[in-house]
Structure 1
Amino acid sequence: MALWRWLGETARELRADGQGELAESLVRLAQMAAEGQADAADDARPAAERAARAASAPSWAAPLMGHWPLAARVGDRAEGRTALPGALARLRASHAGGDDGAGGAAAGCAPAACSAEPVLACYANIDGPGHVVDRATLVAESLGHTRPGEPAWEALVLAQADMLVDDDRPDEAIRELDARAAAARDGGPGVSLDYAFGYVRALRHLDRYDEALSALERVESGMTAAWPGGAARAAARRRLDMERARVLAWLARAGRCDREEARAALPERREADAHPRLRTAWAEAAEHLVAAGALDNDWRLGTALTAWSRYFERVGSDRLCLRVGLTAARLGVARGARWTADTALRRSERALERVRRADEEAGDLDEVRADAARRGPREMPVPAAEVLALLRGQSPEEVDPEYQADLVTAALRERPGDPALLNALGQVGRTLGLTDAAAELHWPRVRSAPGDRKAALSLLETLLADEDTAGMRTLVRHLTGAALGPGGTGTAPGAAGTAVSPAGAPVG
């Protein structure tokens, strides 16, 4: 039984039983999860849980209300280590009572969702191939608490198929999907159209792209009947469009599809901005389209990939960070963006250290690193002291922030700590989303010369743009300590006027 069909039928039953508030909360929270509205779902959860604790409410109602905010975080928001402690706590609490005695969900789980699902999603986001044993064990244990055809059962089956693909067994994933679908049909309702996405991923990994495309066409033809309007269908449409774009982009790169058709299929970048779950697929499709000559490999593409890989690093989705980071590095090297490529390589290296079973990615990283080394640093067309004057003289049509950043960083190698160059790097770093890398080059100057107001304010603007609260606290402590001096009461020479304010004077 499809999740949304179950939710609709259950909501009707609850309304008929006089539990209208609970019915509305059930559907509303599920819709928020589908849209990735984790904060809104978390805000709505307390009131929903109060309705779910009424004496007449089903025993699974309260745990299910708590499931949706977490589902939004690990699903649409693609969080990893940041969500894992909460997911594990919910799993332990809901499965502590074991089986319910009737062969159904474990105590605390609803037929709509098993508390193992967010944990499995976390493991996949953090390091899918590196967590195959944990995932296989958890799926096997949890499937025993569900019935074929229930939404929770179907979600666990799809999680099992994903695990098999990550374990380099996509052919086995297809056989497993076939066998489980037959079991669901024998039990009555069969499987939902969501099931097709499991096949699509396995088929892609078997290089059976034409079959994957056919499966997606079947999904589209049945979309209206499979998903109700609103958030459910919108989420399914986003996933369908992104999967089709990824398949067509690969076919275009292989010369088996018209490249303009493939380019037209790629969703707007803002879709991936709004829904992190789409980002790895969008990045993969974009790289194929660049190779096919159907998409410009420009600094705006680089900025998007930088923002996405940084997001995955921040939420602890290391495998996703590695994938997008490698794409960013390859494309950055290809278009000659040295600083962008270098920061993407370093981010990928950090992610690689946190995952297992990554020989292929390690090889890719070595190749990109070698390619970047062959190209060498950016050559300056003028002496370092004249770089800023050259950049100021550019017309708006000539401005390329990555080129500017490369010239500024090259000049800084000759003039380390130069306040004007650091200020320029902070500005261009904010444009490119590389505020962390810009701040890294600012700190030595601020530590060695706390009286340099321009450098301190430039660093502050960069930290504010990066929402780096810890960095801002460190900066304030450092400047305060320097102002007080060794005795703790005076003002350090040259430090007057260095008080830090978020509304400080513009850097220029």
Structure 2
Amino acid sequence: MALWRWLGETARELRADGQAELAEALVRLAQTAAEGRADAAADAAPAAARAAAAETAPSWAVGLVEHFPLAARVGDRAEGDSALPAALSRLRAAHAGAGDTEGAALPGCGPAACAAEPVLACYANIDGPGHVVDRATLVAESLAHTVPGTPAWEALVLAQADMLVDDERPGEAVRELDARAAAAREGGRDVSLGYAFGYVRALRHQDRYDDALAVLERVEVGMAAAWPGGAARAAARRRLEMERARLLAWLARAGRHSPQEARAALPELREADAHPRLRPAWAETAEHLVAAGALDNDWRLGTALTAWSRYSERVGSHRPGLRVSLVAARLAGARGARWAADCALARAERALERVRRGAEEAADLDEIRADTARRAPRELPVPAAEVLPMLRGQMSEEVDPEHQADLVVAALAERPGDASLLNALGQVGRTLALTDAAAAMHWPRLREVPGDQKTALSLLETLLADKDTAGLRVLVRLLTDAASEAGSGHRPDGAAASEVAAAAPAG
């Protein structure tokens, strides 16, 4: 049974029982989670929890209220390490005092959701292939406490199928999905249409693209009946369109489908911007379309991939971030963007250190690194001192921020610590979402010459744009210490420290 059907039926029962407030709170939380509005879900949870704690409320209500804010974070928001402590805390609470009775719900769980679901999603987001043992153990234990055909059971079955695919056993995943569906039917229940997405992923990993497309067609035909209007259907449609675009793009790259039709199927970039769960698939699809000549490989595409891989790094979704970084590096190398490619490789290397079973990705990284090394570095068309005047003289239609960045980086190699060049790099770094890399090139100069006010203010702007609170604290401390050592007679140090301290956020 789909979660949304269960939720609709349960909400009607709650209203009939005089618990309209709880009914509305659960529906609202579920919709907020589907939209990925984790902050809104967290804000709404306390009021919902009060309604769920009433004596007349069902025993599973509190657990379900606690589930939805986490579901938003690990689902649509694709968080990994950042959400794992909260997910594990909920799981431990649910398991406290649990008995051994098979099919009996764990304390804190219920028919709609199991406390293991967010943990399994975290493991998959962090490093799916590297956590297959943890996932297999947890899903087997949790399935023993759910009833076939309930939403919680179905979510766990799909998590098991995803684990098998990540363990390079997609054929077994298909057989497991078949067997679980048969078990549900034997018990007088059925599986929802959302179950089909498990088949699509397993079929894609068997290179059965036509079969996967046929499954998606059935999903689309039954969409109106399977998901209510609003957030639920919108989320299902986003996933359907992204899966279809990925399949068609691969077929186009292989010469088996029209590249133009595959390009038309790709969701707008703003969809992936708004919903991080879509980003790895969007990046993979974009690379196929670039190879098929159906999508422009320009700096704007590179900037989006950079922002996405950096988001994955921040929330601890290391495997997805690794894959997006590899795509970003390949595409940047292909368009001759040396600095962007080097930065993407550095992010990929950091992510690779945090995953297990990364041999394939390590080989890809070595190949990209070797290809990048074979490409000649950007040569300066003018002396380093004249780079900035030349760039300022460019017509707006001629401006390519990645090309500008490469020239500034090359000029800095000849004039390390040049405050004007560092300021220019900070500006173009903010355009390209490479604020972290730009900041890294500011720090050596500022540590050497803390009184360089121009470099200090350029770094301040970059750190503020990056919302790097830790970096701002280091900058304030560095300048304050330098001003203290220099004494009151050295105004540049004190002025820079004052300006930075005033601009830095409190706390």
* TM tier relative to shorter chain: over 0.9
Q: Deviations over 1:122-176 (max 9, x none)?
A: 0000000000000000000000000110000000000000000000000000000
- What's 1:479 paired with? 479
Secondary structure of 2:398's partner?
A: coil
RMSD: 1.2
Q: Deviations over 1:282-311 (max 9, x none)?
A: 000000000000000000000000000000
Contact 2:476 2:501 in 1 (8 A): no
- What's 1:106 paired with? 106
Q: How far 1:95 sits from its partner (Å)?
A: 1.6
The CA distance in 1 between the partners of 2:282 and 2:501, in whole Å, is 36
Q: How far 1:451 sits from its partner (Å)?
A: 1.2
Q: Does 1:393 align with 2:389?
A: no
Q: Deviations over 1:78-124 (max 9, x none)?
A: 00000000000000001213249583321110100000000000000
Secondary structure of 2:471's partner?
A: helix
Q: How far 1:383 sits from its partner (Å)?
A: 1.1
Q: Does 1:128 align with 2:108?
A: no
The CA distance in 2 between the partners of 1:467 and 1:257, in whole Å, is 43
Within 5 A, what are the aligned runs for 1:251-270? Answer: 251-270=251-270
Q: How far 1:502 sits from its partner (Å)?
A: 7.7
Q: Does 1:165 align with 2:179?
A: no
Residue type matched to 1:490 in 2? S
Contact 1:483 1:495 in 2 (8 A): yes
- What's 1:342 paired with? 342
- What's 2:250 paired with? 250
Q: 1:502 to 1:304 in 2, by over 3 A?
A: farther
Contact 1:99 1:107 in 2 (8 A): no
The CA distance in 2 between the partners of 1:390 and 1:293, in whole Å, is 33
The CA distance in 1 between the partners of 2:357 and 2:128, in whole Å, is 9
Within 5 A, what are the aligned runs for 1:103-502? Answer: 103-485=103-485, 490-492=488-490, 494-498=492-496, 499-501=498-500
The CA distance in 2 between the partners of 1:55 and 1:350, in whole Å, is 50
Q: How far 1:377 sits from its partner (Å)?
A: 1.4
Contact 1:99 1:145 in 2 (8 A): no
Q: 1:224 to 1:494 in 2, by over 3 A?
A: closer
The CA distance in 2 between the partners of 1:391 and 1:90, in whole Å, is 55
Contact 2:480 2:494 in 1 (8 A): no
Within 5 A, what are the aligned runs for 1:58-77? Answer: 58-77=58-77
Q: How far 1:493 sits from its partner (Å)?
A: 6.5
The CA distance in 1 between the partners of 2:27 and 2:88, in whole Å, is 24
Q: How far 1:275 sits from its partner (Å)?
A: 0.3
Contact 1:426 1:439 in 2 (8 A): yes
Contact 1:113 1:151 in 2 (8 A): yes
Q: TM-score, normalised by structure 2?
A: 0.97
Q: Structure 2: which 5+ residue stretches go unaligned?
A: none
Residue type matched to 1:139 in 2? V
The CA distance in 2 between the partners of 1:102 and 1:128, in whole Å, is 27
Q: How far 1:500 sits from its partner (Å)?
A: 2.1
Q: How far 1:501 sits from its partner (Å)?
A: 4.2
Identity of aligned residues (%): 77
- What's 2:52 paired with? 52
Contact 1:482 1:492 in 2 (8 A): no
Q: Deviations over 1:227-277 (max 9, x none)?
A: 000100000010001000100100100011101000000000000000000
Q: Deviations over 1:23-75 (max 9, x none)?
A: 00011001111000110010110110000010000111011101100000000
The CA distance in 2 between the partners of 1:456 and 1:33, in whole Å, is 41
Which shows bigger deviation, 256-265 or 180-189?
180-189
Which shows bigger deviation, 495-504 or 346-355?
495-504
Contact 2:103 2:146 in 1 (8 A): yes
Contact 2:102 2:144 in 1 (8 A): no
The CA distance in 1 between the partners of 2:105 and 2:409, in whole Å, is 58
- What's 1:11 paired with? 11
Q: Deviations over 1:177-200 (max 9, x none)?
A: 000011111112210001100000
Q: Deviations over 1:320-351 (max 9, x none)?
A: 11010000000000000000000000000000
Q: 1:102 to 1:415 in 2, by over 3 A?
A: closer
Q: How many residues align?
A: 502
Q: Deviations over 1:484-505 (max 9, x none)?
A: 116xx6354642522224887x
Q: 1:335 to 1:503 in 2, by over 3 A?
A: farther
The CA distance in 2 between the partners of 1:300 and 1:447, in whole Å, is 33
Residue type matched to 1:500 in 2? E
